[in-house]
Amino acid sequence: MFKGRIGVIGAGALGAFYGACLARAGADVHFLMRSDHEAVRQHGLRIQSILGDFDLRPPVYASARELGPCDLLLIGLKTVDNAALPELLAPTATADTIILTLQNGLGNEEAIAAALVSNRTVCDFPTASKQIIGGTAFLCSNRIAPGVIHHSAHGFIRLAEFCGRPRSRTHEIAQSFVEAGIECEVRESLASIRWEKLVWNIPFNGLGVAAHHADTRVILEDPELRALAWNLMGEVLEAARADGVSIPDELRADLMQKTESMGAYKSSMQIDYENGRPLEVEALLGEPVRRARRAGIPVPRMEMLFALVRRLDEQNRCRIRS
């Protein structure tokens, strides 16, 4: 188990679940919580999980300054909040802090490195990059009430260094998740695991919004939507290959099978849309489309999905402001 002080920034459905599992296994985990801070401080954190329910009374903080410096930071923020990274990392990250981001999409490691440089935590981008580990989490988990997380399926994590090959720390962190009951493996290529996750995220997050309240069961049981999801997956595979990542075609069938087991699962983007919250459009849809365009790879379905979801997100944000 990782021996240092672990801070969870973005303790929602993902961060709170993984942080709670690590804490239950004996790790020294501290949670930065804003909207749920008072509820968790008074009543604790409750995890309702297919792996077994449990309650936890962890140390919680209302601000990054209260949280203070950590040896390992687990970033579970929605990517729409990445603009706050400089403010959040300034009091919590030192030049020796390891930062693990489990955020969705592309560009998050770059945003963290830029924040470390802007805060003068380190002097340059290459130095900052060496502090960062990227991870993807295939997890069905939702926050159903303040301080209550419902974990309904899956949970495995893949980790890779942002800069260079896996190191002893990479394996130590992966082993900590394993000891906490979470399947976790270390991979050589961060780009590979990011694009593999997008093969699922792009169709099922995007269609969950664009097809109007379309959970995974709705998508899979509608022949047209199922075919569209399958073809979107194919475009993501082509975009990944153009970005230097080779992913076997068999992944599509494997992900479809895993999705069948989820039942009527609502993606995080669908839930955010239904609750009037900003969507992770750029990281999940925009950046993959831009990379495909730069490589000269036609991805017409991805482009259409990006345009539709971006428009719906803009309308949502206008309603929020009004």
Catalytic residues: 197
CA angle 315, 320, 322 (to 5 degrees): 95
d(CA 279, CA 282): 8
With beta carbons less than 8 A apart as the criterion, state whether 136 and 245 touch. no
Q: Which among 320, 300, 292, 127 is positioned nearest to 228, based on CA atoms?
A: 300
Contact by Cβ (8 Å): 286, 269: no
> How deeply is 303 buried, as exposed, middle or buried, from its count of CB atoms within 10 A (0-12, 13-18, 19+)?
middle
Q: Which DSSP state fits 29?
A: E
